[in-house]
Structure formats: C-alpha cells, structure tokens
Amino acid sequence: MDHTSPPFELNPLPFLETNDPSQIESEYDVIVDGSGPAGFAAAIASARAGAKTLLFSSAETIGGFSANTFVHSLAGMYVTSQDMIPRPANGGLALEFAEHLVSSGTGTAPKRVGPFDVIFQSPIQYARHCWDLCQREKNLTVALKTRLSSVNATESRVESVELAGREEPVRARAFLDTTREAELAFLAGADFEGHESCTNRRRAFIFSIRGHEANASDEEGRRIFSEHLVKALSQGVLTPQIGLAVIRLVQMDENPDACLGLDAEGDHFSALNPDSLTRFQILSSNLANELGGFLRSTIRGFEKCEVTVVPAQACERESRRVTGRHRLTDADFQSSPDFDDAVCRAGWPVFADPSLLRSIVFDPTRVRPTAVPLRALISKDIGNLLMAGRCISSAYVAQGALRVIGTSLAIGQAAGLAAVETARSEEQSIPENQEAEVAAKIRSILEIGL
C-alpha cells in the first residue's frame, strides 16, 4: 500500500481519559465510536500500531453488554469441538484478553457447556479489567459519556464528527463504528439493513440475586424453582412475563450469585426507540423485584435472598448492520468458504429463532471455524468508514454468531489495524486489489493461519 501521507507521531502520546469534550483534540488518525469489546479492541490495536486514536462513547463504562447488561458468560473465545480440549479461535488481543481475565481471577478457566468452551466472569470486575487494559496504552484518548451529535461526510468519505458539548468538529483520516445501532455510519449516510421490532429475537434482562442457600440454585434447586414458578403463574399470583424467567448459577466464589434472565414482551419492542428501551428497563426492574419477593416468601432456601445488581441497559442484540463490500450470510457459516482477505475466525455457531425459539443451526461435528473477510468490515460506499462488532456487514442470522465477545474482540482488533492502514494511505481507503495483502498482514498480527 502506498503510504505517502504524513507519518504518525514518532513519540507516543500519554493515555488520556476525559468526560469533557473540550479536552478532546481537533484531529486524530483514527476515531472509534463505541466502547464494547469490538470498540476497545479496535482502539487498542490502532494505538499500538502508532496511530493517534480517539475512542468515544455515550456509555459510562468500557466493556459493552457484558458490563452493562450483566452477561456472565464470554463465548466465542474458543472453537467448537468434540474432544473437550479448549482451542482458541484467534490469537492476538482475544487470546491476551482471555488469559488476563483468567490469571487475574476475573474469569474462570474455560468451562465446557455442551460442545462449547465458555469463560464465566463477574460483569463488574470484567468492566474494570477492560478499563485497565485501555489505561496501559499510549496514543489513546478515551472519552466516555460523550454523545455523537452529527457526522460531516461526502458520498465517499467521512471528514469529521461533531460531539455534544464541543463547538468544533473532530477530524480523522479513518473512522470506525462499533456501536450496536451503527450510529456513526447511519449519520454518515452509509447503507444499512436491520430490524426495528422484536419480530426476530426477544430482548433479555439479566439480574443477580444473593443471600440464598448454595443448593437453592443447583440443578435440583432450579427444578424446584421452575415448579413453583409454573404453579404461581397458573394461579395468577405472578405477572405473566415472569414465566420467561430462567435461573442460572454463576459460580465465581464460595457464595455464588444466582443469575436470572427475563425476556422482553416481544412484539412491542423497538431497538431504535429510546422510549421503548426505557419502558422495557422499568418493566423488567419491576418484574425482578416482584420475582425476588416471590422467592423470599415461597421457596425454601431463598428466604434471605435479595436482588443485588440490575443491568444499566436492556440487552438489545441487534438493530442496524452496515452494508459492506461483502455480506456474511448463514450459508457462509454452513460452508466455511476460504476468503483471500480473511482476517480472523468466528468459532461460535449460527443461531436462528424465527419463531422466537432459540434453536442452534450448525453441524456439531464440524470443528472448522468460519473466516471473517476484511471486506465485511469496510463500508461499501465510504472508503474510510470501517465497522466492527454487531454492526458489521452480515445477514441477521449470521450476526448471531458474530456478536459474541470472543469474535467481537478479534474483529475489533482486525478492524483497528485496517483503520490504521486506511489512515496511512493517500487515498484514505484500502483499494480492492490490496484487500488480500492487508488481510495477510492483519492475520500475522492476530497470530492465526487461515
């Protein structure tokens, strides 16, 4: 690739954390929107490559849904296998993150759940772990509680972003959208697809209780829980939506939390409507407290339990997906084609629930993960706009396999490195005839062979 643009700063800049938009500089090499696993992985990768990088987000924490919606399991770190041996799907930041999570005690060693190897973790400690990783980096500015107001773009290039509370726009050579709703791409005028309603997948509300007896949430305890729940619902004692509650054990210490999940009412939910999100948050919090009271008064072992933690936001899995140079489909996950521009691997299977049922669609004997091409991370129309996380170019069914944390970390790192290549190029874009070359460089950094 032709690197005729001015080189990046030779002297690394110190890490900067700010919630004050006026402290954000007027120009960066790479700007990342979103603080989930794809966002902070992209920002770290960009900063490590020497690019002056800004990560901003309206969220209050680093970590995305696992931090804000109380998700305890980290999936996609390892490939699906039948031999009980955890094998990393990707190297690079994803593997570094998993190893640090386990060695610090923030997460468990991989645990086998069916044919999958999953890490369980404490969401609060997970958020601190994500933040600690970012703070170690030079060339990185992190601005949380910072809202995107508008995007200045032509038909083929993003020029700058405007942030709430800041008078002047912030310019960059490459922009990376890692948000659930693809807000930067949407405001830039990029093509996208997505569903606003809950006709495809219910939304989850996960909360934690503590103070119950240890055996109250084991296998037999969960059976008793379900029996009492069914009886109370049939008698009209509980609100009907509580019928979708599921209790899970999250064993992180000697007095484990019990993690309970509630689903959204479904047909009345819109992922892109703030009022809908607020209504769901209020409804679910009320249901959580109602269920906590029912457990204390009805089921042995839960007499002293309390609802200890509720999520900061609803677990909205899908909204907009940006149209890229390649669109990953469920067929790609079935056939696992060889892409010349593959940058990382998705080790998690495709999920499909056309009737709001969660059925897994994959061959359990197939251990070969699906390659993710660089083209799925680049906007079809806007050369210096890249995507990572939930909003990459994919069909709805395929997105279910791409949005898990392990895959998001790998895609985020790949997209961050691609953004650096974009920022360094004179055209501020990766030419189509150089996609395979750039992808090979990214693969070597992620330490995978495809």
pLDDT of the residue at 177: 98
Distances (CA, A) of 417 to 76, 92, 422: 20, 12, 9
Name the pLDDT band for 211 (thresholds 50, 70, 90).
confident
Residue 246: in which H helix or E strand, if any?
Answer: strand 246-250
Name the pLDDT band for 257 (thresholds 50, 70, 90).
low
Answer whether 385's CB lies under 8 Å from 393's CB: no
pLDDT digit string, tens, across residues 393-439: 998 888 888 888 999 999 999 999 999 999 999 999 999 999 999 99
pLDDT of the residue at 450: 44
Q: What is the spatial distance between Cα 225 and Cα 217, in angstroms, rounded to a whole number?
A: 8
Instruction: Kindly state the tokens that stand for 335.
Output: 């056939």
pLDDT at 247 over 90: no
Dihedral of the alpha carbons of 150, 155, 159, 165, in degrees to the nearest 10: 0
Break the chain down into helix, strand, coil percent, rounded to 5.
35, 25, 40
Q: What is the spatial distance between Cα 414 and Cα 392, in angstroms, rounded to a whole number?
A: 12
From 120-134, 163-177, 272-286, the region with the lowest mean pLDDT: 272-286
Buried b (16+ CB within 10 A) or exposed e, 65-86: bbbbbbbbbbbbbbbbbeeeeb
Dihedral of the alpha carbons of 329, 334, 339, 342, in degrees to the nearest 10: 80
Instruction: Kindly state the tokens that stand for 210.
Output: 């503590």
From 98-107, 262-271, 299-308, the region with the lowest mean pLDDT: 262-271
Of 42, 47, 45, nearest in space to 8 by CA: 47
Segment 65-77 shows an average pLDDT of: 73
pLDDT digit string, tens, across residues 134-148: 999 999 999 999 999
pLDDT of the residue at 136: 92
Instruction: Kindly state the tokens that stand for 289.
Output: 């407290």
pLDDT of the residue at 359: 42
pLDDT of the residue at 43: 97
Instruction: Kindly state the tokens that stand for 371.
Output: 């390659």
Q: Where are the alpha helices (DSSP H) in 252-389?
A: 274-298, 330-335
Size of the chain, expressed as the number of residues it contains = 450
pLDDT at 315 over 60: no
pLDDT at 9 over 70: no
Q: What is the spatial distance between Cα 421 and Cα 377, in angstroms, rounded to a whole number?
A: 13
Q: Using the structure block, give the residue that is written with the tokens 């939910």.
A: 269
Segment 313-328 shows an average pLDDT of: 79
Dihedral of the alpha carbons of 306, 253, 259, 134, in degrees to the nearest 10: 110
What is the DSSP secondary-structure string of 43-102? HHHHHHTT--EEEE-SSSSSSTHHHHS---EE-SSB---SSS---BS--HHHHHHHHHHH
Answer whether 128's CB lies under 8 Å from 145's CB: no
More confident residue, 170 or 396: 170
Answer whether 62's CB lies under 8 Å from 35's CB: yes
Q: What rounded mean pLDDT belongs to the chain?
A: 82
From 100-109, 210-219, 243-252, 326-335, the region with the lowest mean pLDDT: 243-252
pLDDT of the residue at 322: 95
pLDDT of the residue at 425: 94
Segment 302-321 shows an average pLDDT of: 71
Name the pLDDT band for 246 (thresholds 50, 70, 90).
low
From 215-219, 259-263, 316-320, the region with the lowest mean pLDDT: 259-263
pLDDT at 255 over 50: no
More confident residue, 285 or 214: 285
Name the pLDDT band for 250 (thresholds 50, 70, 90).
low
Buried b (16+ CB within 10 A) or exposed e, 132-155: ebbeebebbbbbbbbebeebebee
Segment 227-243 shows an average pLDDT of: 82
Residue 414: in which H helix or E strand, if any?
Answer: helix 405-424
pLDDT at 67 over 80: no
Helices 123-135 and 37-48, interaxial angle, to 10°? 20
pLDDT digit string, tens, across residues 298-309: 888 888 888 776
pLDDT at 313 over 70: no
Segment 264-293 shows an average pLDDT of: 68
More confident residue, 17 or 248: 17
pLDDT at 229 over 60: yes
pLDDT of the residue at 5: 45
pLDDT of the residue at 72: 73
Residues 6+ apart with CB under 8 A from 162: 148, 149, 150, 151, 152, 169, 170
Name the pLDDT band for 126 (thresholds 50, 70, 90).
confident
Answer whether 46's CB lies under 8 Å from 153's CB: no
pLDDT at 209 over 80: no
Q: What proportion of the chain, given as a percentage, has pLDDT over 90? A: 40
pLDDT at 376 over 80: yes
Strands 370-373 and 342-346: antiparallel
pLDDT at 440 over 90: yes
Q: What proportion of the chain, given as a percentage, has pLDDT over 70? A: 77
Name the pLDDT band for 7 (thresholds 50, 70, 90).
low
Residue 193: in which H helix or E strand, if any?
Answer: strand 192-194
Name the pLDDT band for 353 (thresholds 50, 70, 90).
very low
